[in-house]
Amino acid sequence: MAAAPARDGVGPRGFAEALERFGESAGRALSWLTLACVLVCFAVVVLRYVFDTGFIWMQELYVWLNAIVFTGCAGYALKHDKHVRVDIFYARLSRRGKARVDLAGAVLMVAPWAVLNAWLAWPWLASSWATAERSAMPDGMPALYLLKAMIIVMSTLLLVQGLALAMRSWNALRAGDDR
């Protein structure tokens, strides 16, 4: 039985599309921090080697920006199939076969990992937040707990994209499209 087409963004297909739009927007927005990371890194190099000065907080800032991009764009990478994949058989599968693999991966790997990761990180983040944790360096970045919060953000964005992938795969299997 073929799945009924979504009407005006309603139903499972519309919900999956809404989840993917959310992940796409988050990924695109956070990816701009890559430019900020490069500019801050460039400034650190110029200050150090041209002006013989530097700031610890600036050195930490570009590492933090890189971490924010990496964690914040994980769901975006999954959506665009740019994640690491050991592809031995997947490329040769039909659309239906790929949908089965994607559904199994989303349900059995992505979702449980994202939930477990957030669950295990939560006490660590709560402790960091409660103590207003900051960098261990004297002139380092304040509010280290904000960076640690990116673990929860990453888990959430991966879970959202994993749900969208599972729904898209389920819809493909129900539609019976086997090209």
Averaged pLDDT, 11-25: 83
Domain count, the chain: 1
Residue 116 in domain: yes
Residue 76 structure tokens? 């975006």
CA dihedral over 42, 52, 143, 128, signed as positive or negative: positive
Residue 51 in domain: yes
Higher-confidence residue: 140 or 6?
A: 140
Per-residue pLDDT at 145 exceeds 70: yes
In whole angstroms, give the CA distance from residue 85 to residue 165.
15
Residue 3 in domain: no
Per-residue pLDDT at 10 exceeds 80: no
Q: How much of the chain, in percent, has pLDDT values that exceed 90?
A: 63
Residue 39 in domain: yes
Find the domain containing 155 and state its range.
11-175
Averaged pLDDT, 148-162: 94
Tens digit of each residue's pLDDT (9 = 90 or more) over 98-131 = 899 999 999 999 999 999 999 999 999 999 999 9
pLDDT of residue 23: 86
Residue 53 in domain: yes
Residue 4 in domain: no
Going by the DSSP 8-state scheme, the letter that residue 92 receives in this structure is G
Per-residue pLDDT at 8 exceeds 60: no
Residue 5 in domain: no
Confidence of residue 88 (pLDDT cuts 50, 70, 90): confident
Residue 2 in domain: no
pLDDT of residue 7: 53
Going by the DSSP 8-state scheme, the letter that residue 108 receives in this structure is I
* DSSP H helical ranges for the chain: 11-31, 33-49, 56-72, 74-79, 95-105, 111-130, 144-175
Taking each helix axis from N to C end, the angle separating 56-72 and 33-49, rounded to the nearest 10 degrees, works out to 160
pLDDT of residue 1: 47
Report which of 132, 153, 140, 169 is spatially closest to residue 67, judged by C-alpha positions: 153
pLDDT of residue 35: 96
The per-residue pLDDT of the chain, averaged, comes to 88
